[in-house]
């Protein structure tokens, strides 16, 4: 009879291979599509953030979060929480920034390995430390973050923050290196924004080191980029640095001109009503989002916990079952051995008893014959 078991195993392996061949590309395509959609959301958020349209940036992040959660994309959720943290920090709400960073870190703890996500969270932590004037701790976080991330846009933002920290601790040489590195950058998302920030950093540096000509030069470059790209905060800062630099350089007429520009900019762009409207909008979105996040994440954590518990219980029961089967097998083997030995012993004893009985019968027959012979002779 032909043994078909080897052929069955080969057929099963072939079926699994075919399924993997067809299903893996489909899964990869779906995952790539999700990543592409999230990237679009994040780029849109970045554009609004850099133009100080914070209410729009919050709306986009809210959509990104809902999409990431509906797609069960944990990396996207971590990225969204970190961006919420940065946006709230930019708005001046440190408490909400810390809240979202904590949510991102909590998800990272349950994720097996996501170095880029850890690097992003460390960058956010460095921003928080910098905002608290804990500059050397912020530098340490940045050094750790650089080791974890290979995202070019994130690394460029780390260089920018590094330059700002060096400015604050008055290490102008290192600050200059950081800012100059960003003047000609090839960032895929924030090329013009990073260049503008680098010019502003150098404008401040040269102002503090009393090289007013260079300060004016960099301020003008920043002003042109900010105006062209609608970077409102940077446009205001450029005018402020120009007013200061021209005044220090004794060009008072130009200094007065830029001071007047500052007043107009604040009146037209940064009105109190606009700031209040953005704050109320952001507060509402943030609170609604916070509640939704907590509810969804608690459900997710509960599901993961139940899944983990089921897996652990299954593993324990499987181990216990295998142990019991092993013990039963050993017990049956030992019982079988004892039974065999007992049977051998009983058979031996039976043979001995049979031989003894036969000997007794023969003795009785001999005795009977002897008595019969004696009785006959006596008669």
Spatial contact of 268 and 253, defined as CB atoms under 8 Å apart: no
Helical axes 252-268 vs 232-248, angle rounded to 10°: 160
Please report the DSSP string for 18-61 in residue order. HHHHHHHHHHHHHHHHHHHHHHHHHHHHHHHHHTT-HHHHHHHH
Q: Give 149's contacts (C-beta < 8 A, 6+ positions apart).
A: 115, 116, 119, 120, 123, 155, 158
The answer to whether 158 and 146 have CB atoms below 8 angstroms apart is yes
Place of tokens 């001995």: 352
Q: Which regions of the chain carry the CATH code 1.25.40.10?
A: 159-271
Name the CATH topology of 159-271. Answer: 1.25.40
Decide: pTM greater than 0.75: no
pLDDT at 111: 76
Amino acid 4: pLDDT: 52
> Tell me, what's the pLDDT at 323?
67
| Per-position pLDDT tens, the chain of length 379 | 555 555 555 555 554 444 444 444 444 447 789 999 999 999 999 999 999 999 999 999 999 999 999 999 999 999 999 999 999 999 999 999 999 999 999 999 987 689 999 999 999 999 999 999 999 999 999 999 999 999 999 999 999 999 999 999 999 999 999 999 999 999 999 999 999 999 999 999 999 999 999 999 999 999 999 999 999 999 999 999 999 999 999 999 999 999 999 999 888 765 554 555 555 555 555 556 556 655 665 666 566 556 655 665 566 666 666 767 766 676 676 666 666 666 666 676 667 667 666 766 676 766 677 667 766 666 5
pLDDT at 78: 96
At 191 the pLDDT is: 97
DSSP character string of 244-306: HHHHHTT-HHHHHHHHHHHHHHHHHTS-HHHHHHHHHHHHHHHHHHHHHHHHHHHHHHHHHHH
Considering the domain delimited by 38-150, tell me its CATH architecture: Alpha Horseshoe (1.25)
Note the maximum CA span of the chain: 175
């Amino acid at each position: 009879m032909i043994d078909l078991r080897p052929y069955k195993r080969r057929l099963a392996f072939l079926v699994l291979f075919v399924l993997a061949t067809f299903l893996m590309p489909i899964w990869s395509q779906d995952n790539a599509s999700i990543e592409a959609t999230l990237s679009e959301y994040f780029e849109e958020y970045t554009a609004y953030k850099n133009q100080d349209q914070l209410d729009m940036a919050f709306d986009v992040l809210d959509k990104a979060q809902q999409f990431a959660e509906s797609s069960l994309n944990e990396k996207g959720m971590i990225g969204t929480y970190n961006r919420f943290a940065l946006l709230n920090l930019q708005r001046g709400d440190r408490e909400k920034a810390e809240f979202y960073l904590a949510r991102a870190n909590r998800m990272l703890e349950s994720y097996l390995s996501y170095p880029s996500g850890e690097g992003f969270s460390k960058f956010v932590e460095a921003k928080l430390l910098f905002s608290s004037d804990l500059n050397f701790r912020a530098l340490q976080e940045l050094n750790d973050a650089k080791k974890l991330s290979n995202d070019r846009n994130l690394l460029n933002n780390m260089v920018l923050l590094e330059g700002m920290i060096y400015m604050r601790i008055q290490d102008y040489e290192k600050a200059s290196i950081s800012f100059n590195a960003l003047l000609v950058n090839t960032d895929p998302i924030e090329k013009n924004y990073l260049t503008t920030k680098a010019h502003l950093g150098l404008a401040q540096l040269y102002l503090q080191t009393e090289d007013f000509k260079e300060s004016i030069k960099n301020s003008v470059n920043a002003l042109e980029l900010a105006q062209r790209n609608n970077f409102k905060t940077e446009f205001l800062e450029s005018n402020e640095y120009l007013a200061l630099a021209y005044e220090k350089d004794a060009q008072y007429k130009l200094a007065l001109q830029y001071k007047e520009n500052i007043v107009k900019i604040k009146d037209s762009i940064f009105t109190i009503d606009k700031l209040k409207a953005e704050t109320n909008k952001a507060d509402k979105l943030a609170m609604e989002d916070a509640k939704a996040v907590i509810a969804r994440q608690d459900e997710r954590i509960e599901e993961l916990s139940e899944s983990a518990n089921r897996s652990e219980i299954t593993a324990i029961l499987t181990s216990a079952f295998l142990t019991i089967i092993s013990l039963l097998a050993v017990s049956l083997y030992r019982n079988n051995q004892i039974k065999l030995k007992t049977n051998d012993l009983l058979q031996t004893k039976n043979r001995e008893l049979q031989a003894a009985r036969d000997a007794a019968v023969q003795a009785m027959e001999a005795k009977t014959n002897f008595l019969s012979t004696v009785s006959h002779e006596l008669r």
